[in-house]
Amino acid sequence: MGILSFVGFTLLVAIISYLATRKTDESSSDGYFLGGRSLGAVVIAGSLLLTNLSTEQIVGLNGASYKEGVLVMAWETLAAIAMVVTAIFLLPRYLKGGISTVPQFLENRYDTTTKAITSGLFLTGYVVVFLPVVLYSGSLAITTMFDVPEILDISKDTSIWICVWGIGIIGSIYAVFGGLKAVAVSDTINAVGLLIGGIMIPVFGLIEIGDGSISEGISTIMNTNPDKFKVIGGPESSIPVATIFTGMMLVQLFYWGTNQAIIQRALGAKNLKEGQKGLLLGSFLKILGPIIVVLPGIIAFHIFNGELGDADEAYPELVRKVLPVSLVGFFAAVLFGAILSSFNSALNSSVTLFGLDIYKEYINKEATEKQVVKAGKTFGVVLALLAMLVAPFIANAGSIFEYLQEVNGIYSIPILTIIVVGYLTKKVPAIAGKIGILSGSILYIISQFVLQPYFISNDLKAESPSILQELAFVEQNLSSEKAVTVDYEKAIEAINKKENNTKDDIESIKKLKESIDYKNVLKAINEYKNNSDQGLGSIKLLTKSMNELTTSFNYVKDEYKEKGIILNPDIKTSIKEVKASIDKVNVVIDRTKKLAYPHFLHIMAILFVVNILIMLIIGKLYPRETAYEQLYTQEVDITPWKYTKIVGVIVCLIVISTYIYFR
């Protein structure tokens, strides 16, 4: 039944997308890249929601809320304000210029070289960061939720590779061969499914906590975990409160106002009114986003007592725990659609950037529109293959969501800087744009990938004595194998006394012997002790192996409970003590990383101001000979929707009220 509902919903999306797009002329640039500039408000809002809301968001943010609580909702709620700003200030200018890509505006404002550099940065970010993260997080979710390794009798790593290539190939077919309209229509259908499926998980989770009552579940979780419902983050949190007024809003403005994968939906609007209504409808949906991408993480923390080894597994594990078997197929299809949406949306944007901004400009200036579309499709296939090769290695990057946001800073703030200066000034020259984007990227790379590791390593060295003390306890327990020695004869005897026992029960107990791979932890501890540089580099392997051990401990405990077997008290005590020491080490490491160097959102804000000053100084010293004036190309009607500002103010007030309530 589950497989049938999965296949049925997936085919339904594909058929409707085909029927809705078969009359679109995809041999032309506008037809293929912008859906013939025919998108309405509902389609734009649905596509915006699904492009943004995929597994890197669902899995990553719920993992973050599992650790820190509701304060991470800033990534969702502040997005609503950024969408309002885009609808009122940026979209009218984009549609007035009739552009297909954000870099095309930069060509008009600065020159073709600035456009090429920006397109190159976007494409590099997509292939190295965004597309692989979407593929990996989606594969991790499907592998964990639906127990693919068990079904196919393969390892977890092999399962992730298979899922990465499956998602990548199917997503490529949508994006490369269907064009923007196919992507947007499929997104809209999947958006409905995702809203239904996404809300089901916290509902079932609250019912589980409240013994059948949602209201009791809410009351229990809020009273039991009051710290998880504080929206103000301290200096040790991933979002200190001050960052909301610095880099956080800049990141949101870049993402919703200038990121090609997002803004392309609004650029395909049939007119400004529909584009603005689509963005504002999307902003309302983002306010509701924390129900899907934050609350389940807190529910998982309550249900699993904060004992999961990897926070990014909070959402998949919760789904396995609370979702009725009858709904697994539908939810798998919805999740699959969300993964495809983010992947094929970014891939379609990459195809657009390459075809219009690089191929047409630098490779074949005389290319016909059919040739441009064909070149874009070919590039899309190559890009998808590269992303599929990179994706499985994201496993070593730490927190999915944190990794994505921090690495995005390489190109997000520089691009936002030159767009803001480009719109707000008229005489800043092209050379300022090139210097601004290059200096922004280079300074950010130096800050986050040279200076930050240096300072963190120094601070971690200072914490080395306390870390070594805890590691000695872990090593002592694991070396004696007290934590992993199980009396299998007694375990099997206990199973045989149960009614309705099966051979599978006995086999699963036998497998427990291999379930805890403590040797990797001993090896990592030994390497850390023998490494004279006990800094960031030697910590990474240690943290990864210890988190895996914690997950193994939880598996053993849950497996024994499920089989009705009582663990030997010595083993239970040892597991608990070793896990406590592992947690202490991870807390020290995590705290040191956050306090040793300024938060990356603060760094973004500082570099944003520095880059603007650099560009304004260049503009003062070497101004353009003629002031820039944007021309109206009359591609679409740019009469604004008369309620845009009123609705925008309402959205902003709702966001502010939410913060006041959870202060």
Sign of CA dihedral 432, 434, 439, 444: positive
Q: How far is CA 606 from CA 280, 603, 614, in A?
A: 30, 5, 12
pLDDT above 80 (res 557): no
Reported as a pLDDT band with limits 50, 70 and 90, residue 27 is: very low
Q: Are residues 48 and 9 in the same domain?
A: yes
Task: Tell me if the pTM is above 0.75.
Answer: yes
Six token digits for residue 61: 């943010």
pLDDT above 50 (res 381): yes
Do the domain assignments include residue 118?
A: yes
Do the domain assignments include residue 212?
A: yes
Q: Are residues 49 and 177 in the same domain?
A: yes
Domain C-terminal end among 550, 571, 595: 595
Average pLDDT, the chain: 78
Q: Are residues 550 and 591 in the same domain?
A: yes
pLDDT for res 294 = 93
Domain C-terminal end among 595, 621, 641: 595
Angstrom distance (rounded) from CA 284 to CA 393? 36
Q: How far is CA 7 from CA 2, 13, 316, 597, in A?
A: 9, 10, 21, 48
Reported as a pLDDT band with limits 50, 70 and 90, residue 19 is: low
Q: What is the pLDDT of residues 163-206, one digit of tens each?
A: 888 888 877 776 555 544 555 566 666 667 777 888 889 999 99
Q: Are residues 404 and 482 in the same domain?
A: no
Lowest-confidence pick of 45-49, 274-278, 531-535: 531-535
224 C-beta neighbours (distance < 10 Å), count: 11
Q: What is the pLDDT of residues 584-638, one digit of tens each?
A: 777 777 777 777 788 889 999 999 999 999 999 999 999 998 998 888 888 788 8
Q: Are residues 424 and 489 in the same domain?
A: no
Q: Are residues 532 and 553 in the same domain?
A: yes
Q: Are residues 228 and 368 in the same domain?
A: yes
Q: What is the pLDDT of residues 79-108, one digit of tens each?
A: 999 999 999 999 998 888 887 777 788 888
pLDDT above 70 (res 560): no
Q: How far is CA 388 from CA 130, 144, 475, 653, in A?
A: 12, 19, 38, 42
Reported as a pLDDT band with limits 50, 70 and 90, residue 154 is: confident
Do the domain assignments include residue 30?
A: no
Q: Are residues 396 and 455 in the same domain?
A: yes
Q: Are residues 500 and 447 in the same domain?
A: no
Domain C-terminal end among 595, 619, 649: 595
Q: Are residues 420 and 562 in the same domain?
A: no
Do the domain assignments include residue 112?
A: yes
Do the domain assignments include residue 471?
A: yes
Query: Tell me, what DSSP letter sits at residue 568?
Result: P
Full residue range of the structural domain in which residue 394 is found: 2-24+36-461+598-661
Do the domain assignments include residue 340?
A: yes
H-type helices in 231-368, by residue range?
A: 247-257, 260-267, 272-287, 290-293, 295-303, 314-322, 328-352
Region 309-313: what's the mean pLDDT?
Answer: 75
Q: What is the pLDDT of residues 518-549, one digit of tens each?
A: 666 777 777 777 776 666 666 666 666 666 66
pLDDT for res 584 = 74
pLDDT for res 17 = 58
pLDDT for res 613 = 95
Do the domain assignments include residue 636?
A: yes
Residue 100 maps to which CATH number? 1.20.1730.10
pLDDT for res 425 = 92
Q: Following DSSP, what letter does each residue of 424-458 receive, concatenated?
A: H-SS--HHHHHHHHHHHHHHHHHIIIIIHHHHHHH
Q: Are residues 359 and 455 in the same domain?
A: yes
Reported as a pLDDT band with limits 50, 70 and 90, residue 434 is: very high
pLDDT for res 327 = 79
Do the domain assignments include residue 140?
A: yes
Q: Are residues 457 and 565 in the same domain?
A: no
Residue 194 near residue 58 (C-beta atoms within 8 A)? no
> What residues does 271 pair with on adjacent strands?
637
Angstrom distance (rounded) from CA 158 to CA 143? 10
Question: What is the total count of domains within the chain?
Answer: 2
Q: Work out the burial of residue 508: count CB atoms within 10 Å of its CB; fewer than 13 is exposed, 13-18 middle, 19 or more buried.
A: middle
Reported as a pLDDT band with limits 50, 70 and 90, residue 212 is: confident
Between 569-595 and 536-563, two packed helices, what is the crossing angle to 10 degrees?
150
* E strand segments, 118-169: none
Q: What is the pLDDT of residues 385-410, one digit of tens each?
A: 888 888 877 765 556 666 777 888 88
